Amino acid sequence: MSKLKYKPKQRLKLNPPIIILVEPQLGENIGFAARAMLNFNITSLRLVNPRESWPNKQAISTSAGAIDSGKSNVSLHNNIEEATEDISYLLATTARNRDLNKPVLSPIEAAESLLHAQIKGMSTGIVFGAEKSGLKNSDIIKADAIVNIYSNSKFSSINLAMSVLIISYQWYSRKIEFIESGKLPKQKNLKKNSANKKELNFFISRLLTLLSDNDFFSPSEKKQSMVNNIEAIFTRSNLTPQELRTLHGILSNLIKS
């Protein structure tokens, strides 16, 4: 395992990851999640279409002061694209293994990946799905990697707030260890300035619209899986804004021909 030596004199600003809950069902779990996050200095919580109305009394109660004290910053969003648009390195949590051709990380590997991105000044986030159903594949596709919490195969359903806690705790304790030791295993493929999800999504939707107009998606019942594959390719490439401009140029050029 090769190490990256962190120089203590070099001031590191490690912005905590943003936590995104997609369609959380119970206010109680939102509050518990906010409390667990704040225990480990993570303060930015984004809710995509929570089932219950917001602000929510039960969430405020179980947050034990995290929400109503203003120490945490909770915001509402209409969809996952909007909730992640300023994020450059995004992780998605899943309970089951899904065959999506994405790197699958343990919580500790996830913590290390987040730290690498944060050292580079990137904005980072972790998406969690609803209590019962988890994330849809079409949401997971948008992430740079998957986090999988290894647990008892005969009782693997981890409560939503508890999953948020594990990731928060692991990020925080790995960060402390890194700051004390200056060591972090090397990471491949993480570019200094990856494009954020808004820039990436803009390119992907432009491409998909063009392809759709040209009747690329045929037969139509295969469209969704074809879209997923295309999205996965460009997400995995970890593109910089400059590379995205190049790709836009290629697109513009091709449609003229």
Binding-site ranges for its own copies (CB under 8 A): 32, 35-36, 38-41, 64-66, 71, 106-108, 149-152, 154-159, 162, 165-166, 169, 172-173, 176
Comparing CB distances to its own copies, the nearer of 169 and 217 is 169
Comparing CB distances to its own copies, the nearer of 106 and 138 is 106
Smallest gap from residue 174 Cβ to its own copies (A): 10
Smallest gap from residue 71 Cβ to its own copies (A): 6
Residues 30 and 64: their CA atoms lie apart, in Å, by 12
Comparing CB distances to its own copies, the nearer of 65 and 241 is 65
Instruction: State the pairing for strand pair 145-148/104-105.
Output: parallel
Smallest gap from residue 41 Cβ to its own copies (A): 4
Secondary structure in 3-state letters for the chain:
CCEEECCCCCCCCCCCCEEEEECCCCHHHHHHHHHHHHHCCCCEEEEECCCCCCCCHHHHHHCCCCCCCCCCEEEEECCHHHHHCCCCEEEEEECCCCCCCCCEECHHHHHHHHHHHHHCCCCEEEEECECCCECCHHHHCCCCEEEECCCCCCCCCCCHHHHHHHHHHHHHHHHHHHHHHCEEECCCCCCCCCCCHHHHHHHHHHHHHHHHHCCCCCCHHHHHHHHHHHHHHHHHCCCCHHHHHHHHHHHHHHHHC
Tokens standing for residue 182: 């200056």
Smallest gap from residue 169 Cβ to its own copies (A): 5
Smallest gap from residue 69 Cβ to its own copies (A): 9
Smallest gap from residue 111 Cβ to its own copies (A): 11
Comparing CB distances to its own copies, the nearer of 84 and 170 is 170
What one-letter code names the amino acid at 58? Q
Comparing CB distances to its own copies, the nearer of 53 and 155 is 155
Smallest gap from residue 113 Cβ to its own copies (A): 16
Comparing CB distances to its own copies, the nearer of 75 and 151 is 151
Are the CB atoms for 82 and 196 separated by under 8 Å?
no
